[in-house]
Amino acid sequence: MAPIGIPELKAIVGMFARSAAASVSKVSYERRQRRAGNPRAESEVKGPKTKEAHMAEKKLNNLFLDTLKDIYFAERQILKNLPKMAKAARSPELKNAFLKHRDQTEQHVERLQEVFELVGKRAQAKTCEAIKGILEEGEEIMDEYGASEALDAGLLAAAQAVEHYEMSRYGTLKTWAGQLGMKEAVGILDETLQEEKETDALLSSLAQSAVNREAA
C-alpha cells in the first residue's frame, strides 16, 4: 500500500474540519434561536422530552381528578353509614367514636369540595365499588351479629377497614397533589389524612380494650 502523501492528508484534515464546523454551527444556531425566544427552536432541541413530560402531567391530572371523585363518593357514603354504626354499637365509647367521626366526616366532604374548587372543577362523585363493598360488609355484621356480644368487635373491624381505605386514598392524593405543585391541596388533604389516622388509632385502642374482652 502506497504511503499517504501531503495532498491526501490535507483532504482528510479538511473533511474533519468541515464536519466539526457543521455541528458547531448547528449548536450555535439553536442557542441563538433559544436566546431569541423562538419556541420552535426550543421544541426542536428538546421536543420529545417536553412532549412526554406534558403527557405524564396530563395523565396525573386526570388520575388526581378521578381519585378525588372516588373519595368524594366514599366520604358521602361513610357520612350516611356512621349514624347506623353508632346506633348499632353496644359500648358507649364506640358509639361516641362513631358519632365524633361522623362530624369529622362532614368536614372531610367540605374539604374535598375545596380541593375541587382549587382545581377549577365541579365537585362530582364517581361510584366507588370498593367502599360500597366495605360498607356492605359492615351492614352484614350488623345483621348477623346484632344480638351478639361480638357485635362491637365486628363493627370495629369494619370501621377500621373503612379508615384504611380512606388513608390509602388520601395518602395517594396528597403525594400526587405535591407532584402537581398544588401546595394548598397538599395541606387540605393532609388535614383529613391525619384525622383518619387518629380515628384508626382510636379504634385500635378500643379494639384492644373492653370491646374485644367482652366478645371473648
CB of 30 to Fe ion, least distance (A): 52
How far, CA to CA in Å, does 125 sit from each of 49, 62, 77, 184? 34, 14, 10, 21
> Considering only residues 166, 177, 182, 211, which one is a binding residue for Fe ion as defined by CB under 5 A?
166
125 Rama class: left (phi>0) / alpha (psi -120 to 50) / beta: beta
- Which is nearest to 64 in space by CA: 205, 164, 182? 182
**Identity of the residue, 153 or 159, whose beta carbon is nearer to Fe ion in the bound complex:** 159
Nearer to Fe ion (CB atom), residue 200 or residue 214: 200
Options 36-44, 59-67, 92-100, 191-199: segment touching Fe ion (CB under 5 A): 191-199
Nearer to Fe ion, 28 or 113 (CB): 113
- The type of residue at 79 is L
Nearest to 152 by CA among 75, 79, 74, 93: 93
Applying CB under 5 A, among 86, 138, 196, 203 the residue interacting with Fe ion is 196
- When the beta carbons of 70 and 196 are compared against Fe ion, the nearer one is 196
Distance CA 77, CA 69 (A): 13
Could you tell me the smallest distance in angstroms from the CB atom of residue 159 to Fe ion? 8
CB of 201 to Fe ion, least distance (A): 12
Touching Fe ion, residues 52-111 (CB under 5 A): 105, 108
- The C-alpha atoms of residue 168 and residue 104 are separated, in whole angstroms, by 18
Q: Are 101 and 152 in contact (CB under 8 A)?
A: no
On the CB side of 192, how many CA atoms lie within 13 Å of its CA? Answer: 33
Q: Which is nearer to Fe ion, 41 or 157 (CB)?
A: 157
| Cβ pair 133, 164 in contact under 8 A | no
Instruction: Give the residue nearest to Fe ion (CB).
Output: 108
- Output the smallest distance, CB 147 to Fe ion, in A: 27
Shortest distance, position 130 Cβ to Fe ion, whole Å: 14
Distance in Å, CB of 205 to Fe ion, minimum: 16
| DSSP code of residue 150 | T
**# binding residues, Fe ion (CB under 5 A):** 4
> What sign for the dihedral angle of Cα 72, 73, 75, 79?
positive
By beta-carbon proximity to Fe ion, the closer residue of 81 and 105 is 105
Binding site for Fe ion (CB under 5 A): 105, 108, 166, 196
